Amino acid sequence: MNDVTRPLDPLGDGLPVPADAPLRAAVTKGRLLQCSIAMFEAAGADCSALRKPGRRLILPVSLPGGPGFEVVLAKAPDVITYVERGACDLGIVGKDTILERGQSFYEVLDLGFGACRFMLAVREGEDFFGRMHHRTVASKYPLVTRQFFERRGMDVDIIHIEGSVELAPILGLADGIVDLVETGGTLRENGLHPIETVAEISARLIANVAAVKTKRGPVTRFIDLCREAVLCSPS
Ligand code: PRP
């Protein structure tokens, strides 16, 4: 289990959130949503609406003995936008998106689930660091990639690819890729192998800067609920 005691760390200004509005948490659709539902239920929440959303995008979650909250279903970069701008008080999003998209919010908790890695990967037999000519790297995460090579003092051309990044070295577009690796299966089945870890990734709970002040009670309760559920879950 990852460290879940990260303190609040102010990094920017969010817009004011009305104190009487219901607590809203934006959650990244897909695997992180399923893990989030399991976390909420471990904390005693009723997620029946969230388990059968149909086409609805805002779903109520009730908690025993207290006010519940609303879950907003969104794509990962939009979770950050909604939280940064105060449309949502809290958000659950991968560290990969946080690293690429900036941080005008509080990152309050490492939720542990959604664990994977950003890795630099190349074709089998490729001597990436040993080669003499200029290197080209493809990634869906150009900022993360640029910062990684800047830290190493390497001048690398970066090509922004939207998905299936593994294609780039296979088709001769790039010498390597920086991409998320979970099981390693996609790399293996496409003749690529990882040569260096760029960053460890997992889901994070984020909070709007203003909501932490104006909705301190409900926001703190939500954070505590998630922290306790994460601490109780098997690692
Ligand atoms: C992600 C990632 C890799 C793959 C890694 O792709 O970009 O391609 O999963 O998983 P693995 O190590 O378990 O094989 P995703 O399925 O999200 O699609 P994308 O390539 O279009 O981004």
22-42 residue pLDDT tens: 799 999 999 999 999 999 999
**How many Å apart are CA 109 and CA 79, to the nearest integer?**
15
Measuring CA to CA, which residue among 124, 63, 109, 141 is closest to residue 205?
109
Mean pLDDT of the chain: 90
- For residue 78, pLDDT over 90 is answered with yes
Q: Looking at the CA of residue 185, tell me the nearest atom of ligand 1.
A: 14
Structure confidence at residue 9 as a pLDDT band (50, 70, 90) = very low
182 lines ligand 1 (CB under 6 A): yes
**What pLDDT does 220 receive?**
95
- For residue 12, pLDDT over 70 is answered with no
183 lines ligand 1 (CB under 6 A): yes
> CB-based contacts of 151: which residues, under 8 Å, 6+ apart?
none
- For residue 158, pLDDT over 90 is answered with yes
185 lines ligand 1 (CB under 6 A): yes
What mean pLDDT comes out for the span 46-74?
A: 94
- For residue 160, pLDDT over 50 is answered with yes
Query: When comparing pLDDT for 54 and 8, which is higher?
Result: 54
Q: Looking at the CA of residue 179, tell me the nearest atom of ligand 1.
A: 7
- For residue 44, pLDDT over 80 is answered with yes
Strand order across the beta sheet in which 192-201 lies: 156-160, 135-139, 176-181, 116-123, 192-201
Measuring CA to CA, which residue among 198, 31, 231, 234 is closest to residue 111?
231
- For residue 94, pLDDT over 70 is answered with yes
Atom 19 (ligand 1) nearest CA: 163
Q: How far is the CA of 2 from the centre of ligand 1 (A)?
A: 22
pTM score, whole prediction: 0.88
